[in-house]
Amino acid sequence: MAEPEESRAGANAEQAAEWDGPAGAHRIRYAAVFDAEDRPHNERFRAATGVAPADHVLDVGCGTGLSTRDAARAATAGSALGIDLSAEMLEHARRVSREEGLRNISFEQADAQVHAFPAGGFDVAISRFGSMFFADPVAAFGNIARALRPGGRLVLMVWQARERNAWSTAIRDAIAGDAEVPPPPAAGPHPFSLGDPEVARGILAAAGFTEVGFADVREPLYYGPDAAVAFGVVRGLRSTRDLLAGMDAAAAERALGRLRVILAAHQTSGGVLFDARTWIITGRRA
């Protein structure tokens, strides 16, 4: 069921336009790569979620539904609901779930910051790289907290700071060349917005979560089996598109040449790999 238009057009309108547009289409095109991209991180995340057979799970920013399907397989007597801004990714998630024979799973196009969830309707709220893009994170996590029963658990996987993630720094530096790379914004939605534990802890405390903890995960990030596939994956990312948009045609062509070089340099027998660090953040609804 689609979310009411006034909700989707509200506080997260820019994110909705991106994820229900070019970013969502790109994720569908390279769904197999993105599902494998952070597999070692996801294995740690899946273990941390600790979904029990009778749990009802909310998956925020579920994308193509990998983490929702993992939750549904664990919640054999419960259920898993995945929400996302992208209609296209959700349709992909529904199709794959049907193919896998999952019956206790559903998906809704919704903005977690404003969506009217059933109060106390979930035992666990999870998000794998889907919680860093809220226009008002305190409001969003407060809304998620209200969707959890008292004592319900929150489990997030988010990127640590950009400088700890070579997949971002090495690629951005290669594309930028001699040009100065702007730092991530001090506030607002971006991939590293929850990378500072003190910032994330403050947001979650203000939203009504207690017992907030952080587990450090350092594992490689996979961008495809070879440099050619990795080029297609990285070329379509919003961060790459934004950098190239500020260049003239000749400069953009040189930047893409540098991108090909850095991806080839990271080719291994296991694919194109970059160092990556994430936090698994846990908490409980007060």
Among candidate residues 37, 278, 282, 40, the one with its CA nearest the CA of residue 159: 278
Q: Is the Cα torsion angle 126, 131, 134, 136 positive or negative in sign?
A: positive
Q: Tens digit of pLDDT for each residue in 81-138?
A: 999 999 999 999 999 999 999 999 999 999 999 999 999 999 999 999 999 999 999 9
Q: Say if residue 5's pLDDT is above 50.
A: no
In order of 110, 151, 195, 239, the CA distances from 147 in angstroms are 14, 11, 24, 32
The Cα–Cα gap between 56 and 76 comes to 10
Measured CA angle at 58 (ends 143, 222), to 5 deg = 110
Radius of gyration of the chain (CA): 19
In the DSSP assignment, the letter for residue 117 is: P
Among candidate residues 285, 230, 237, the one with its CA nearest the CA of residue 129: 237
Q: Tens digit of pLDDT for each residue in 228-272?
A: 999 999 999 988 998 898 899 999 999 999 999 999 999 999 999
All structural domains of the chain, each given as residue ranges with its CATH number in brackets, are: 5-162+187-222+275-285 (3.40.50.150)
Q: Tens digit of pLDDT for each residue in 49-88?
A: 999 999 999 999 999 999 999 999 999 999 999 999 999 9
The Cα–Cα gap between 45 and 150 comes to 22
Q: Output the 3-class SS for 173-209.
A: HHHHCCCCCCCCCCCCCCCCCCCCHHHHHHHHHHCCE
Backbone φ/ψ region at 146: left (φ over 0), alpha (ψ -120 to 50), beta: alpha
Contacts of 2 (CB under 8 A, 6+ apart): 87, 108, 109
- What pTM does this model have? 0.89
